[in-house]
Chains A and B, each alone.
Chain A
Amino acid sequence: MKSILSTKNLTFDYIRRDDEGNVEGITTAVDDVTLDVKEGDFIAILGANGSGKSTLAKHINAILYPTEGTVFVDGKDTSDDKNIWDIRQCAGMVFQNPDNQIIGQIVEEDVGFGPENLGVPTKEIWERVEESLKAVHMYEYRKKSPNKLSGGQKQRVSIAGVLAMHPKCIVLDEPTAMLDPSGRKEVIRAIRALNDVEKITVILITHYMEETIHANKIFVMDKGKIAMEGTPKEIFSKVEMLKKLRLDVPQVTLLAYELKKAGLPLPDGILTTEELICQLS
């Protein structure tokens, strides 16, 4: 498979300055990260607050440029200014707060905003808006005002807005952090459908473990570095390690882990309730 995103020794420093502009201190948010994402993958990046995962996400969309190292999106270098619009079209980004990323006053107008910016002809914009809204099951809300939608619905509109730009890859920066549990489920379902049905590469940044169990690969970040990487099974079998990184494992996994410690013969890395029930009986 072709590589869609690859970073090499990516390092990013936030430089704090005092009033006169003298350097007060340097915080390295992303430290020597090398990773490679293949087209069609579902990648999850996990990490506690301040682990540098959002900073990493902003590099994929060319909002931030690396201090050191390189980021290539679909074979294009993000630090080259003439690639910037291609990269942003290719790697769409969904942010945390649904209210602060919806521009239109009607759902369909918001979804059309991206294609409008790309200079897509009017007729095609309507086609794209329709297919994107249908992909996230929000088509019947197309005439509504975004202010009247629930958090989960707003976030699905945001996803549709990115989808309408026909990206190869979608980066979601904690899209569920501000949602209630049912909204979280809606959004995760929509994201999984994109990956399964539309074959779009998904990079999901989150600190909810439950959302990552369907990923092909998980990267766990800590203090700007990649601390662990592997499939969900591999990651969640290392319960002690995750706890050390201030992350919670899913309840089921934790239960299975404790049961195993107490002497039950269970395999490592149980991810779903069904799996545990199956193993227990």
Chain B
Amino acid sequence: MIRDITIGQYYSTDSLIHRLDPRVKLVGTLCYIISLFLINNWPGYIIATAFLFMVIALSRVPVKFMVRGLRAIVLLLIIAGVVNLFFTPGEELWAWKKLSITKEGITMASTMVLRLIFLIMGSSIMTLTTTPNNLTDGLEKGLSFLKIFKAPVHEMAMMMSIALRFIPILLEETDKIMKAQIARGADFESKNLIKKAKALVPLLVPLFVSAFRRANDLALAMEARCYRGGDGRTKMKPLIYKKADAAAYLVILLYMIACIYFGRIFKF
């Protein structure tokens, strides 16, 4: 069913990682991505791998969910691997006509592929353990310092969460309009690209009209419930740092130090 679609592939369970403040997870993910590009030797990768699997184990999300996210980038992984493997200049190990495999090529290809895999897995831990709403809240609170520069942080967060709320509704509506058009002879199955694009017009126009009508209704409903922007609003679920969040920040800090020290500076 189309209404079962969840955005951001949240995996519902209760774990230490699930309960962390979304800001911690945002910062952690950002740090992890940075660390992947800082490290340039094997001890560094061992630390990154150990950290990743520790977090996965703590999150209680089955590993197959993480691997599922990789399916989308298999092609990218293969291309990155092959190109780096064959076209990196350096000490030649094997050669055939113009293709050659070098020692540097092997290192380059494996680190590149590892980096990409870790990148996807690392960020999917965040989306798998945080509800989109929670993530929006985290972004709002985490970026609230931007309010000094008059950036409309609350408004942006509100827009994001409303958009998320309406995605399934609009999907369902698209489905309905499509069926109505098919019933009247519209052809959405055509292989011809131009025909396909043309068939979208009678789909998009009613969809836009209805989206605007919904937006108008929603704005009325929000005003009727006394919505008047972010000032003076209280939160039903305020984000408050707990002990576990402080501990998590400490772990992230230690991880970053270890990465920089063993992954870059320390020479074996």
Residues of A within 8 A of B (CB): 61, 63, 85, 88-89, 92-93, 95, 97, 99-106, 108-109, 112-122, 125-126, 129, 146-148, 161-162, 165
Contact = CB atoms under 8 A, between A and B. Distances in A.
Contact of B238 (A97, A99, A114, A122): A122
A115 B236 contact: yes
9 A-B pairs with least C-beta separation: A101-B221, A112-B236, A100-B217, A117-B226, A114-B225, A93-B224, A125-B236, A147-B168, A117-B227
Is chain B's binding surface mostly helix, strand, loop or mixed?
Answer: helix
Given A63-B220, A100-B218, A105-B165, A113 B225 contact: yes
Nearest to B6: A145
A165 B133 contact: no
Given A99-B169, A102-B165, A109-B236, A161 B225 contact: yes
A115 B232 CA distance: 11
A94 to B, nearest CB: 9
Given A92-B225, A104-B165, 10 more contacts: A88-B224, A88-B226, A95-B221, A100-B218, A100-B221, A105-B133, A112-B236, A116-B235, A126-B236, A147-B169
A93 B253 CA distance: 50
Nearest to B215: A100
B236 A122 contact: yes
B132 interface: yes
Contacts, number: 90
Q: Kindly state the interface size class of chain B when it binds its partner.
A: 20 to 34
A108 B223 CA distance: 19
Interface of B: 3, 131-133, 161-162, 164-165, 168-169, 214, 217-218, 220-228, 232-238
Is chain A's binding surface mostly helix, strand, loop or mixed?
Answer: helix
Nearest to A129: B236
Given A105-B133, A122-B235, A117 B218 contact: no
Nearest to A58: B220
A148 B227 CA distance: 25
Given A115-B236, A122-B235, A103 B133 contact: no
22 contacts: A61-B224, A63-B224, A88-B223, A88-B226, A92-B224, A93-B224, A95-B220, A95-B221, A97-B217, A100-B218, A101-B217, A101-B218, A101-B221, A103-B222, A105-B132, A117-B225, A117-B228, A119-B232, A119-B234, A125-B236, A146-B165, A147-B168
Contact of A103 (B131, B162, B169, B235): B162
Nearest to B165: A105
